[in-house]
Structure 1
Amino acid sequence: MTSAGAFPAVREGEETMIRKCAAALAAILLASGCGGSPDHRSSAEGSSSAGVSQSASDTASATPAVSSSSPEPTPTTQEPVVETPTEEVATSDTPDTWSGDDTTEDDDQSAGDGSQDCADLAGSGTFTDPLQLGVVDGPVTAQNCAPLTSGSPFNVRYFSFTLSGTPGADARAGASFTLTQDALGPVYPAIVQPNGWVLKHSLGSGYWTGTEPDFTGRYQQLSDLAPGTYILRTEKLDSPLHSLSTPSYDVVVDPDSSTGS
């Protein structure tokens, strides 16, 4: 049997062993850094900052920049309108189309009384650029105008004139010509306003001079017109089977004619 005096010595040995183990455990805990080292904290803070930065970057890339603007619309270019010489249907009663402002400036081109060669007149003979007779104060004649032909280049030619005053009872405008075997087609005149409205049609009004079939001219009366600018349209209406062209002709505008033909 163990004596009673042996127990105090055992207890003292156990206590000594417990103290040594406690000291050793404390040293192990300190050595292992269970309290967290500065390096670990720095690494954690770095990871957190990197996450925040990455999140901010993602947010910034998802949001469009305020200074960026939408692309400008592609401008459209309007095609220029080109007047191509084509054969006009002379028998049509549809008013001509006016494509722009009147640029004849007849008020600055007084023709007065007299005659002039048709080739010397300003203008090309189209509706938008008529041959200009100017302000007509007395009888005016444009001589030797080229024949009007069937088909190309055209069978219509336009002249612009301005009545400076109220026309007289015998005022007229039209074409004077001499028919031949090679040019049997007469020249038909019409009166058109600069805005394209036909006032006097080639067949609906007008009168002949001369005796059928040897007509010497065809005219429109002007006595019912007010002072202002008008377009005289000269046309070939006969079919090519009858005559390929008209003869050359003179354009006559008389604001108060009192003589016969």
Structure 2
Amino acid sequence: MLMIRKCMVALGVVMLASGCGSSSDHDGPTVADSPPASSSEPTPDAGSPTPDASGTSPSVDPADQESAEEAPSPEDSTPSDEQDATDGGGSGGDDERTTGSQVLDCGTVPGSGTFTDPLQLGVVGGPVTARGCAPLTSGSPFNVRYFSFTLSTAPGANAHAGAAFTITPDALGPVYPAIVLPGGWVLKNSLGAGYWTGTEPDFTGRYQQISDLAPGTYILRTEKLDSPLRSLTTPSFDVVVDPDGSGGQAG
């Protein structure tokens, strides 16, 4: 009996010790049981991310870049018409071909000799003579021929324009000059103005004073006015435009 009692006491002690150990496990985690602080845990964001200003731009296709480099700038695409105008290109006119003091072949002067397409003597910078112009004959349109010239500056006191010729027995008709504006207005009529050189009947020329003309373009109209009964034709003649009177023939 005594032995049984001792066994029960010992069993109680063992059970009590076992109960105390179990309660100590649930009181809280030991240092060994606490999870270690992980250095790989992400740090909380301080705010929304800011775009990177130094980020690279999207890649450019080399073909697109090459075509962009070859595209002309607005300066490069300037029409070439402005350069041509500066260089004197374009349709031929008195303002584009300057002639100084010189002698021209009448047969090579540009133009057909009509009012709308006169023979162009150019911008006269000195005495200009167109030699060997074909005779004027009776009957329209062969009795009139037109020449254009441009005065770039105010002409001199003895400036003149007209025709020089030599009367022959078979060509008795003189050449009469007139000064006309490109619009058709007659400034100096072939009969009402002008003067002769030479002695009648052997006149050597007829001219118009142009000292009173302003700078600009004018038309010199040359005419045959004599009756066909007297002369069917004029002599061949030279057209003279002298803006400063240095070539003589002043009246």
TM-score (norm 2): 0.62
Query: Is residue 191 of structure 2 the alignment partner of residue 203 of structure 1?
Result: yes
Conservation of the 8 A alpha-carbon contact between 1:209 and 1:216: yes
Query: Is residue 121 of structure 2 the alignment partner of residue 121 of structure 1?
Result: no
Query: Is residue 128 of structure 2 the alignment partner of residue 140 of structure 1?
Result: yes
Conservation of the 8 A alpha-carbon contact between 1:104 and 1:130: no
- For residue 161 of structure 1, what is the aligned residue in structure 2? 149
1:122-176 Cα offsets, whole Å, 9 max, x none, are 0000000000000000000000000000015510000000001000000000000
Q: CA deviation at 1:258?
A: 4.1
Q: Percent identity?
A: 77
1:11-67 Cα offsets, whole Å, 9 max, x none, are xxxxxxxxxxxxxxxxxxxxxxxxxxxxxxxxxxxxxxxxxxxxxxxxxxxxxxxxx
How far apart in 2 are the matches of 1:124 and 1:195? 18
Residue ranges of structure 2 left out of the alignment (5+ in a row): 1-90
How far apart in 2 are the matches of 1:227 and 1:258? 18
Q: Given the alignment, which residue of 209, 217, 226 partners 1:229?
A: 217
Q: CA deviation at 1:203?
A: 0.3
Q: Which has the larger radius of gyration?
A: 2
Secondary structure at 1:242's aligned position in 2? Answer: coil
Q: Given the alignment, which residue of 88, 91, 96 partners 1:108?
A: 96
Q: CA deviation at 1:243?
A: 0.2
Q: Aligned runs of 1:182-201 on 2, under 5 Å?
A: 182-201=170-189
Residue ranges of structure 1 left out of the alignment (5+ in a row): 1-102
Q: Which amino acid aligns with 2:237?
A: Y
How far apart in 1 are the matches of 2:248 and 2:152? 23
- For residue 249 of structure 1, what is the aligned residue in structure 2? 237
- Runs of 4+ off more than 2 Å: 258-261
Alignment root-mean-square deviation, CA: 1.2
Query: Is residue 179 of structure 2 the alignment partner of residue 171 of structure 1?
Result: no
May I ask how many residue pairs the two structures share in their alignment? 159
The alpha-carbon distance between structure 1 residues 104 and 206, as it changes in their structure 2 partners (threshold 3 A), is: farther
Secondary structure at 1:246's aligned position in 2? Answer: coil
- For residue 238 of structure 1, what is the aligned residue in structure 2? 226
